[in-house]
Amino acid sequence: MGKKYANLVKNAVGRMVPTEVNGQTQVPFQGVGKHKPNARKYEPKISSCADFPEDGNKQVASLKEALIKAGLKDGMTITTHHHFRNGDLVANQIFDIAKELGVKGLRWVPSASFPCHEHLIQYLEDGTIHHIEGSMNGPLGRYASYGKMKGMGVLRSHGGRYQAIQDGELHIDITVIGAACADMFGNANGLFGPSASGLLGFALADSQYADKVIVVTDNMVPFPCSPWQIQGNYVDYTVQIDQVGVPEKIISGTTQITKSPDRLLLAEMTAQLCLEAGIIKDGFSFQSGAGGTSLAVGDYFAKIMREKNIKARFARGGSNKYLVDMLNEGLIEYILDGQTFDLDGVKSMGENPNHVWTSPFTSYNYHGKGNFAGLVDVVILGATEVDVNFNANVVTHSDGLLLHGIGGWQNCLFSKTVVLPIPLFRDRIPVILDEVTTLCGPGELIDVIVTERGIAINPKRKDLIEKLKDSNLPIKTIQELKEEAEKICGKPAKPEFDDELVAVIKWVDGTIIDSVKKVKS
Amino acid sequence: MSPKIATAGNTGKKIRSDCFVTLELKDKGGIQIEQKSKVEVLYGKANIELCKDVLSFYGIENAQLTLDDKGAVSLIIAARIEAVVKQLIDTDKEYLLDFIEENKYFSEKDQLRFSRLYLPGNSPSMMLNAGIHDPNGIILDLEDSVAFDRKKEAQLVVRNALRGINFYGAERMVRINQFPMGLEDLKYLVPHNVHMLLVPKCEGAEQIKELEEKIVEIQKQHNIERPVLLMPIIESALGVEKSFEIATSSENVVALAIGLEDYTADLGTRRTNEAIESFYARTRIVNACKAASIQAIDSVFSDVGDMDALRENVKVSKGLGFEGMGCIHPRQIKVIHESFAPETVEIEKAKKIVNAFIDATERGLGVVSLGTKMIDPPVVKRAETTINLAINLGLISENWREDFLNEQAS
């Protein structure tokens, strides 16, 4: 795989990043919208129907057989997807098989990993897996943080993952797509069956560009599996197994509106800000994540819209019960959904033509002819840290541990207004710093920080400052907020890091915006 | 032999913004500090320095101190260490951190008291953010929410909170314990700008007198002149019968509150949502308060999940003549404020009446009339109260009459 990393240079946001990672040459971040590769997209091999069964039946007996037929061997790149979230039963099986077959040095590229994948640490230890390139949630992130992974972690946004595959930065040998429903030809969707999770958007690029595509399901239906969110024409092998996911764990744990009074206050302030800034108006659009605070923001939006008889043209999902209720109530005309977080979302997507499934290609890919994220009027996002220049971090904690993925966060920064409701401090840990530990999003794209003790508007957004100049909302400078937190919590010491790097953070265009240092153990 | 090991504070999976401290006095070996902190990277060194400073302040030279920290701020860690020290050595010395400038404001006798948020005195996690929810008052509670064996450590937490936690303008109240312990609480409160004391299970004027004597004694020691306001809580049948006596027992008694849990227990009945069983007590207390020209404050509403029921409850309460209510959850505050606030029609009517009164006074007329209707003085008084309340709440401007007259003219 070549060197873990080499040749550090300072990028356009002043961060030291390597220009070689896992043996591949890298481009340091050049600035927003600056890097435009003058090249052709990646070319998958041409297939021929002559090589596939005439009756269309591509089903093989087991996942093991499929992997062997797909030519699984040392050093390959295997990809999986996180539609089953913490209930995923597919990824672990792939590497159990690889271990059994004695295959070594694999690169695993999940669209995200979850605590259920802690099982794979043993394979990172014994060399079955060389390294992970993908968002790491929880135990795997902790493992990587202490520098135990042989290769570099590469974290990409959902849009960045599509871009990397499309642009040929990320060549995939075998992709395994776990689907709630499929037919023997390989058509698949996430809508129906015991492991229903809604859609399969994260697997789209993999199906289009991987050398070999395997679809695994526990709900094999006779042809045609409709709708075909994944087109069987891309698929090499199909497999039926007992269970692809654990239903109760597929449902995300965060899809309840927060009960915390502090967070509800944050959400209420955020909604009030959007109202006073003139963002909530007839025909507007919004995106609010699946976290408890974000859900509450959606709920306050709904209240305001009901009171003032305002309708939104569309909302971008992560969909959930609350968003579906708004759709059914007529408060929003369309949900453009990237992933469904609960069964209400899954059901609605299956039944309501205005609940539309999207993919990272339509929503987020920066190397396309536009994408939907830029069309959204306001997006509500989270962050672990923000700095006085409005740069934000979503992957590491203040102690340096890499515990979260990027998700669609970076991609959403291209919305017309980006609002981050975050508590000023969490259990004494101030959230606003002089400099973020890891820079995931440049401050020029982040417009408003809402904290329970005040709201900071990016000085670049003169229009917002003007609109809110007579507001009763507590508008302060970001510096004032930072000082207020330090007055309450005390000035935090700077965490010490090892000089060694353990991961890089990709920007939406494939350049490297920051690197993650090893945590001192 | 006196004990050599002491503990204070809270620990456990759900505990946040607090710490648990164990101190063992030794004969030799100097100061040994062991720290386990979830914020060690950011505050580990500062915590150790603080531990050393407190121990050295009390002249402790040989000891083993264990700090199990869940993200407590300095003033909480300091209170916890002081608590363990005071269990092991006999001292009156107080380890005081800065009294922040933001906490040096005062309250007024007749200020708005729609809401007061109860904060358990030994649970720091709720204190830091209490003020951001904008209650009229916060109550640091030393009484029922603190376990008997934790009373002393809670006194130190509350004292440090009064000095160092910004409550953003809320009236700074403390519910003291029943006597005699309640009198012991005072030295941790009176010198630290407590605005108001809530006196639980109050049953007579002599209790208030005893309390005030002790308060004055402490005030003299600290050269404090501004009086501490009092809100006795009526929680028994006897207390209800004595409510007027209590209401008029001191000029510093500015409100009476009713505590319905204990009162209904005293009656030998059950507390219901309809509250028929406490109707007499509530009206009796309102009447006593009005007779004494002080505020009548209602009990807390304990179903924190049901905001609609709370709204209804406040309407009834307001209808009976109460001017405020306790809160046990921050989300209740807004509902209580909205429901106690005068409604738009009330304000508009009050504007007309007050305007007519001012008009009549300016023209030297003895009789106030609105159209063909005569307005009695008590109606004017009520309208004035409504207008002042609306101004206080920011519902109308202080110069409302200019706008009113302009509107009339146009």
What residue segments make up the domains of chain A, in order of their start? 51-133+170-250, 261-497
Q: Which pLDDT does position A378 carry in this prediction?
A: 98
Q: Which pLDDT does position B111 carry in this prediction?
A: 87
For residue A496, is pLDDT > 90?
A: no
Distances (CA, A) of A295 to A41, A112, A423, B276: 38, 21, 15, 40
User: pLDDT tens digits, residue range A190-206?
Assistant: 999 999 999 999 999 99
Chain B CA closest to residue A486? B73
Question: B118: which residues sit within 8 A by CB, 6+ positions away?
Answer: B139, B141, B145, B175, B300, B326, B327, B328
Asked whether residue B93 is domain-assigned, the answer is no
Chain A CA closest to residue B128? A488
CATH superfamily of A51-133+170-250: Glutaconate Coenzyme A-transferase (3.40.1080.10)
Rounded CA gap, A54 and A50, in Å?
Answer: 8
Task: Please name which of A22, A28, A269, A336 lies closest in space to residue A154, comparing C-alpha atoms.
Answer: A22
Last residue within a domain, chosen from B42, B58, B88: B88
Please indicate, yes or no, whether residues B382 and B287 belong to a single structural domain of this protein: no
Task: Please name which of A46, A102, A95 lies closest in space to residue A74, comparing C-alpha atoms.
Answer: A102
The structure's pTM equals 0.92
The number of C-beta contacts closer than 8 angstroms across A and B is 59
**Which of A228-232, A394-398, A508-512, B177-181 has the least mean pLDDT?**
A394-398
**Partner A contacted by B331 (CB < 8 A):** yes
Partner-chain residue, chosen from B16, B45, B329, that has the shortest CB–CB distance to A493: B45
Rounded to a whole number of angstroms, the distance from the CA of B374 to the nearest CA of chain A is 40
Rounded CA gap, A29 and B2, in Å?
Answer: 66
Q: Which pLDDT does position B392 carry in this prediction?
A: 80
Mean of the pLDDT values across residues A438-443?
Answer: 98
Please indicate, yes or no, whether residues B160 and B226 belong to a single structural domain of this protein: yes
Rounded to a whole number of angstroms, the distance from the CA of B77 to the nearest CA of chain A is 12
Mean of the pLDDT values across residues A445-455?
Answer: 98
For residue B391, is pLDDT > 90?
A: no
Q: Cβ contacts (< 8 Å) between B45 and chain A: which residues? A: 493
CATH code of B63's domain = 3.30.230.10
Q: Where are the alpha helices (DSSP H) in A365-509?
A: 409-412, 462-467, 478-489
Q: What is the ipTM of this complex?
A: 0.88
As beta bridge partners, residue A357 has: A337
Rounded to a whole number of angstroms, the distance from the CA of B206 to the nearest CA of chain A is 40
Chain A CA closest to residue B129? A262
Interface test with A, best of B13, B18, B39 (most A CBs within 10 A): B39
Residue B15, classed as helix, strand or coil, is coil
For residue A256, is pLDDT > 80?
A: no
Mean of the pLDDT values across residues A397-414?
Answer: 93
**Partner A contacted by B39 (CB < 8 A):** yes
Confidence of residue A224 (pLDDT cuts 50, 70, 90): very high
Residue A354, classed as helix, strand or coil, is coil
B window 125-144, beta carbon within 8 A of A: 128-129, 132-133
Provide the number of structural domains found in chain B: 3
Asked whether residue B94 is domain-assigned, the answer is no
For residue B399, is pLDDT > 90?
A: no
Please indicate, yes or no, whether residues B65 and B201 belong to a single structural domain of this protein: no
pLDDT above 70 covers a percentage of chain B that reads: 99
For residue B155, is pLDDT > 70?
A: yes
Q: Which pLDDT does position A254 carry in this prediction?
A: 55
DSSP state of A77: E
Asked whether residue B395 is domain-assigned, the answer is yes
Terminal Cα distance for chain A, rounded: 26
Interface test with B, best of A259, A401, A428, A432 (most B CBs within 10 A): A428
With CB atoms and an 8 Å threshold, state whether B330 touches A488.
Answer: no
Rounded to a whole number of angstroms, the distance from the CA of B41 to the nearest CA of chain A is 6
Chain B CA closest to residue A520? B41
Asked whether residue B302 is domain-assigned, the answer is yes
For the record, the structure tokens of B320 come out as 């009976």
Last residue within a domain, chosen from B340, B372, B399: B340
Mean of pLDDT over chain B: 94
Mean of the pLDDT values across residues A513-520?
Answer: 94
Q: For the domain with range A261-497, which CATH number is right: 3.40.1190.10, 3.30.1180.20, 3.90.25.10, 3.40.1080.10?
A: 3.40.1080.10
User: By residue range, what is the domain housing residue B181?
Assistant: 101-340
Interface test with B, best of A422, A427, A473, A519 (most B CBs within 10 A): A427
Mean of the pLDDT values across residues B359-365?
Answer: 85
Please indicate, yes or no, whether residues B336 and B371 belong to a single structural domain of this protein: no
Q: Which pLDDT does position A252 carry in this prediction?
A: 64
CATH code of B306's domain = 3.20.20.60
Interface test with A, best of B11, B18, B42 (most A CBs within 10 A): B42
User: pLDDT tens digits, residue range A65-78?
Assistant: 999 999 999 999 99
Asked whether residue B156 is domain-assigned, the answer is yes
Q: Cβ contacts (< 8 Å) between B74 and chain A: which residues? A: 490
Last residue within a domain, chosen from B340, B365, B392: B340
User: pLDDT tens digits, residue range B193-232?
Assistant: 999 999 999 999 999 999 999 999 999 999 999 999 999 9
For residue B385, is pLDDT > 90?
A: no
- Within 13 Å of residue A98, how many CA atoms lie on the same side as its CB? 31
Task: Please name which of A142, A146, A250 lies closest in space to residue A195, comparing C-alpha atoms.
Answer: A250
CB atoms within 10 A of CB A207: 22
User: pLDDT tens digits, residue range B310-337?
Assistant: 999 999 999 999 999 999 999 999 999 9
For residue A443, is pLDDT > 90?
A: yes
Rounded CA gap, B346 and B389, in Å?
Answer: 11
For residue A179, is pLDDT > 60?
A: yes
Q: Cβ contacts (< 8 Å) between A496 and chain B: which residues? A: 41
Please indicate, yes or no, whether residues B399 and B310 belong to a single structural domain of this protein: no
Asked whether residue B390 is domain-assigned, the answer is yes
**Partner A contacted by B43 (CB < 8 A):** yes
For residue A1, is pLDDT > 70?
A: no
Please indicate, yes or no, whether residues B303 and B373 belong to a single structural domain of this protein: no
Q: Which pLDDT does position B132 carry in this prediction?
A: 96
With CB atoms and an 8 Å threshold, state whether B129 touches A452.
Answer: yes
Chain A CA closest to residue B101? A487
Asked whether residue B181 is domain-assigned, the answer is yes
DSSP E strands, A180-311: 181-182, 188-189, 212-217, 237-240, 284-288
With CB atoms and an 8 Å threshold, state whether A493 touches B41.
Answer: yes
With CB atoms and an 8 Å threshold, state whether B73 touches A488.
Answer: yes
Rounded to a whole number of angstroms, the distance from the CA of A264 to the nearest CA of chain B is 8
With CB atoms and an 8 Å threshold, state whether A428 touches B329.
Answer: no
With CB atoms and an 8 Å threshold, state whether B39 touches A264.
Answer: no
Asked whether residue B318 is domain-assigned, the answer is yes
**Which of A17-21, A310-314, B364-368 has the least mean pLDDT?**
B364-368
Mean of the pLDDT values across residues B87-91?
Answer: 95
Mean of the pLDDT values across residues B268-295?
Answer: 93
